[in-house]
Structure 1
């Protein structure tokens, strides 16, 4: 993202935050940098982030899905702030003239003040115990919006937390020194990180290498092996489909061939009988001529 656009979008961040109010966090992420990060933010206390913060898990998920290729924005999805509050989020994809993704403009709405106000309004017309036991807005909210799964993630998660999560998933511990990891364990951790889109971020490979106590070249080799494995699985899948198609064709062909063979046999049999009759007639004629 060039400096002119960066300045314009940074001003837009302040404009939107000033217009929407203090319950809205507005962010600008620059993806064209070597290490993509947040370059402008207003009301950052909502998520706990500041300028220079790495991309969130949500941002990485959006990039990994490549939905920006067909969409201009993503509206009204949920996430959780570092303090545990549910946020309503929207993201605008900033693309260049060729359609390449350059940045993300995000708006995150924290409605906790309105929920508190709603609870007070209910309390005005119902006894406290009735509100608490029956129609508490807070109870409804907890039922309607459960704690989000790790798939959707938190705004505050970053590459480091993803590595810790992958470590725990593989070895059931995030405390084991990376130098004691086995090759298969490193490969599985890298597979998990790759599936989550970590390696599409510039600078992610050396960071992961440092955390796993291996070289960047080793991470590249692991990724290369993963790619080959995916290609083999893809080819195997298509070979299985092709083999199934061939077997179906053979089965159909055998049926047709069987019909054709029967017809040919009957035709051959008829021709043979015809030749025998002709030969018999010639013998009779010859016998008759000799009798005279």
Structure 2
């Protein structure tokens, strides 16, 4: 792998080792966050859990974490539940990898498919109460096979929050829409500015201008 940070390289055998330890229902993913995050996955085992492979992009939650100060303040995000992958029940953990200067260079993610365990628990118990539901306001994590799919998922999530289709948006609503996408980390993806410009039927310069209004 070209220009791979040696710290990240040292985690590659960990990916296979963890996956073989916990079995075929445990997906383990290594992301390189130092380069093009539109193809950040550099190692993956049991990719059938999420349908991803080497070269797939980061998730929307990872982008949001990178856009905020979360990854610099916390070393990991553990044991959060995700029910969005093809109807599966997934328990996920993300561990942020830092270099010798404390800068985030990657992440090691573990996604455990608990679907069969939940079915067994349901069979044993007459009623199964799930007490670890994620907060309603927290975004669902999307596992996209391509960066284009990831952008579409993030845009759809933002439109659901906005409650208005793009065709009916006025100028101020477009500005707010762009600001929300920025907070979600969409513009960390290469080519996202032009993609949104085309979607909103405005120029790339206008998108940058709207973003500047937020930061001014």
- The TM-score with structure 2 as length reference comes to 0.80
Change in Cα spacing, 1:212 to 1:32, as seen in structure 2 (3 Å) is farther
| Contact in 2 for aligned 1:17/1:42 (Cα 8 Å) | yes
* Aligned with 2:174 (options 180, 186, 189): 186
Change in Cα spacing, 1:82 to 1:118, as seen in structure 2 (3 Å) is closer
| 2:127 is the counterpart of 1:136 | yes
More deviation in 219-228 or 49-58?
A: 49-58
- 1:69 alignment partner, SS class: helix
How is 1:114-129 mapped onto 2 (pairs within 5 angstroms)? 114-120=117-123, 122=124
Q: Deviations over 1:201-236 (max 9, x none)?
A: 4443233333333333221111101111xxxxxxxx
Greater fraction of residues in helix: 1
Distance 1:167 1:81 in 2: 18
Distance 1:106 1:191 in 2: 28
- Paired position in structure 1 for 2:206: 218
Distance 1:200 1:188 in 2: 18
- Paired position in structure 1 for 2:164: 172
Q: Deviations over 1:30-61 (max 9, x none)?
A: 21123443222211222222222222122123
Question: Where in structure 1 are there 5+ consecutive unaligned residues?
Answer: 123-130, 229-292
Deviation at 1:100, TM superposition (A): 1.4
- 2:85 alignment partner, SS class: coil
Q: Which structure is higher in RCO with an 8 Å CA cutoff and minimum separation 6?
A: 2
Q: Size of the alignment, in residue pairs? A: 208
Distance 2:23 2:155 in 1: 36
Q: Highest CA radius of gyration, 1 or 2?
A: 1
Change in Cα spacing, 1:221 to 1:101, as seen in structure 2 (3 Å) is same
* Aligned with 2:102 (options 82, 99, 115): 99
Distance 1:169 1:75 in 2: 26
- Paired position in structure 2 for 1:88: 91
- 1:45 alignment partner, SS class: helix
Question: Where in structure 2 are there 5+ consecutive unaligned residues?
Answer: 145-149
| Contact in 1 for aligned 2:60/2:185 (Cα 8 Å) | no
- Paired position in structure 1 for 2:147: none
- Paired position in structure 2 for 1:276: none
How is 1:1-292 mapped onto 2 (pairs within 5 angstroms)? 2-3=3-4, 5=6, 6-36=8-38, 37-120=40-123, 122=124, 135-137=126-128, 140-141=129-130, 144-146=131-133, 149=136, 151-156=138-143, 158-170=150-162, 172-173=164-165, 176=167, 182-228=170-216
Root-mean-square deviation (CA, aligned residues, Å) is 2.7
